[in-house]
Chains A and B, each alone.
Chain A
Amino acid sequence: MPRARSEPSVTPQGLRQLGDEELMQLVQKGRAEAFELIYDRHSSASFSLAYRMCGSRAAAEDVVQEAFLSMWRSGSRYDRTRGSVRTWALGIVHNRAIDSLRRSVVHDRRRASDEGIEERFEARERTDVEAARRDEAREVRTLLDDLPPEQCRVIELAYFGGFTHTEIAAMLDTPVGTVKGRMRLGMEKMRGALARQGVVTP
């Protein structure tokens, strides 16, 4: 494809050496090659999240497509002072997946259950980065599993199931206040555990 004539040319190799933040500056100028690298770097994590939430490849692909096209069209909304490109991307994917779940006529409760994911295509570990990511996934998974079950449950139903606290309260036959309290307590516990692992300052 033709290259933007007004931009200094950056070779494909040169682009690959740029960080996400620099790439986003090129994306804001409409550079498709820069966006392709952003996609390559973050599509696996994005798809994994969307798949965990939607439970089917087709729905997850729709969510990821919507999210990445929205990132391409609104690259200017990315603000590096508010977090990494990855966090930004996953936030958009999460919002789009919630919208998609809430748009569906029947908000299927089974969808959010752990056994609801039948077809699971495990990602292959192609690089050290991916292996590290798998380790990270295991760690966060462990943190969740270490929570008291009732706290883990409400966090999963909310974050991965896309349910509101009112829906979760009805589902578990528990007062809304209790559900909200469990969410906050569970997240505080996880924060403490992340701090002990050195991920955040205590």
Chain B
Amino acid sequence: MTADHDDFVDAQGAYLLGALPQPEKEHFEAHLATCARCRADVDALLVVADALPSAAPPVEPSPELKDRIMQVVRSEAELLEATGAQADVVAPPPRPRPRARPGWLGALSFRPALAGGMAALALLAGGAAGYALRGSGDGEEARTVRASVEQGAAPGGAGKLVVDDGKATLRLARMPEAARGRVWQMWIKRPRRAPEPTDALFDVRRNGTATVAVPGELAGAEAVLVTSEPKGGSQVPTRQPVVEVSLT
């Protein structure tokens, strides 16, 4: 035991209640990693923290909330099933578009990087970036755009954006977990504007894949980006993008 330890004892309760501000929380966690006594104390008090949520008066969510959540879950499950193991396979070669479409997929061309702090983005290994249009089998037209994955941050990483019936979903494979205490966040980049934050915060599955619906409107967007952000997400990207899907 050290003098250090005594300083941390009183923080145990605040830590479990989520009331330690940064950087005190980080200091406490670093201490916890080295102090068996604090770990034992915190373990003992954990039962209290676990019991606290049940002190909230019972209130029922609306059925619509379940509908909204399950709609996203089902569409992601279907995409996962449809593209499953082939998530990282390059999409079929392009064939002529059946009709011109105004908007963000109207004139696909690959752009090596966006202006504004993104010059450091290394492009997908092999330069396979491109796009493809294909039928999804049920008569609906699905569009797929390959993502550029920064190979330094995500070796072997690959991904694509699938747009089907106006809904876009980003599928990633061989993605690492965001660093400890961080989460992946999706952004929508529009011309001459800072990337807009989305509420698509996600972790990768154990097998390194992720399937994430793109929230919000993609019309007029020039790119979909993914960055590593502190848990809870950010309003402005704090890191360079690891994934970029260029839409213009």
A199 and B45 within 8 A (CB): no
Residues of B within 8 A of A36 (CB): 70, 73
Considering only residues 73-100 of chain A, those with a C-beta below 8 Å from chain B are 73-77, 83, 87, 90, 93-96, 98-99
Known: A140-B55, A191-B47, A194-B47. A65 touches B65 (CB 8 A): yes
Residue A28 is within 8 A (CB to CB) of chain B in the complex: yes
The majority secondary structure among interface residues of chain A is: helix
| Number of chain B residues close to chain A: CB under 8 A | 58
A190 to B58, CA, bound (A): 21
B52 and A159 within 8 A (CB): yes
Residue A168 is within 8 A (CB to CB) of chain B in the complex: yes
Known: A49-B56, A70-B201, A121-B59. A183 touches B19 (CB 8 A): yes
Q: Give the Cβ gap from B199 to chain A, nearest Cβ, in Å.
A: 6
B21 nearest in chain A by CB position? A164
A73 to B209, CA, bound (A): 10
Partner of A164, one of B19, B56, B78, B199: B19
Q: Give the Cβ gap from B156 to chain A, nearest Cβ, in Å.
A: 19
Residue B11 is within 8 A (CB to CB) of chain A in the complex: yes
A137 and B47 within 8 A (CB): no
18 residue pairs from A and B, CB less than 8 Å apart? A32-B70, A44-B59, A45-B54, A47-B61, A48-B53, A48-B57, A49-B53, A49-B56, A64-B61, A73-B211, A76-B203, A95-B232, A102-B232, A122-B59, A123-B59, A137-B56, A159-B19, A163-B19
